[in-house]
Amino acid sequence: MKKTFTVALGLALSLLAGAAFAGFEPKFEAKLSNTKVKANPELAFHLEFGESDEEIGDFKAIIPKGFNIAADDAIPNDEEIGGGNIEIAAGPDCRPGPEGQIPVKVNAPVKATIYEKARTDDEIDAGVHAVWLLDLEPLNRVRLLVTGSPTTGWTVQGAPTPSDNTCNPLIVDLTINSASETGVPVLTNPSKAGKYKFLAEIASQDSPTVAKFTQIFKITK
């Protein structure tokens, strides 16, 4: 009995030690292609996750008040509004259990496309302003919900579906275009010059950890 207890205690301590050494230190950066008042800039996002990082869970970008984002009915459904490239590890080494003991994975490039999508009735009732679909087929699809207003600020939020076929390292480069395919401005800068604070919160899929980022953009006349 004493031996069994010792083995169980040792296993528990090893698991706790593993959890303690698990990390979540992603990198994040946002860029505006044009910082003039009332301009319609491209909005670019760059994210990086190291091989030892916990995997990404929820993503939230917070755009300050003063900016405007096109409403759902301003852009035709399924119209392309952005895109980019993603590089992610894929293979048996990403999977839990016995399959994960096979040390085979490769960094796979994936083309990303972002579409404007019609809101569901539930999303309309919840006050969702617009829906951006991040299409990463065949790996994933992420429904990004845009909420808020020019007077309160905006939140763009969504989470990928967990997958045993992919894992870190992960590099994400995405751009929201200055206008949709039919020329509708997607994002419009404030009408007043000044400093505007952009925030991002990236949650871990594997723990309660949330990485927070702050960037200041100077909008000029």
Instruction: Name 171's bridge partners.
Output: 48, 87
Q: What is the mean pLDDT of the chain?
A: 89
Could you report the per-residue pLDDT of 160-192, keeping only the tens digit for each?
Answer: 998 888 999 999 999 999 999 999 999 999 999
pTM to 2 decimal places: 0.85
Structural fold of domain 24-219: Immunoglobulin-like (2.60.40)
- Each domain of the chain, given as residue ranges in start order, spans 24-219
In this predicted structure, the answer to whether residue 55 has a pLDDT above a threshold of 60 is: yes
In this predicted structure, the answer to whether residue 149 has a pLDDT above a threshold of 80 is: yes
Which of 17-47 are b and which e, b meaning 16 or more Cβ less than 10 Å from the residue's Cβ?
eeeeeeebebebebebeeeebebbbbbbbeb
- Reported as a pLDDT band with limits 50, 70 and 90, residue 99 is low
Which has the higher per-residue pLDDT, 164 or 36?
Answer: 36
Which pLDDT does position 125 carry in this prediction?
Answer: 97
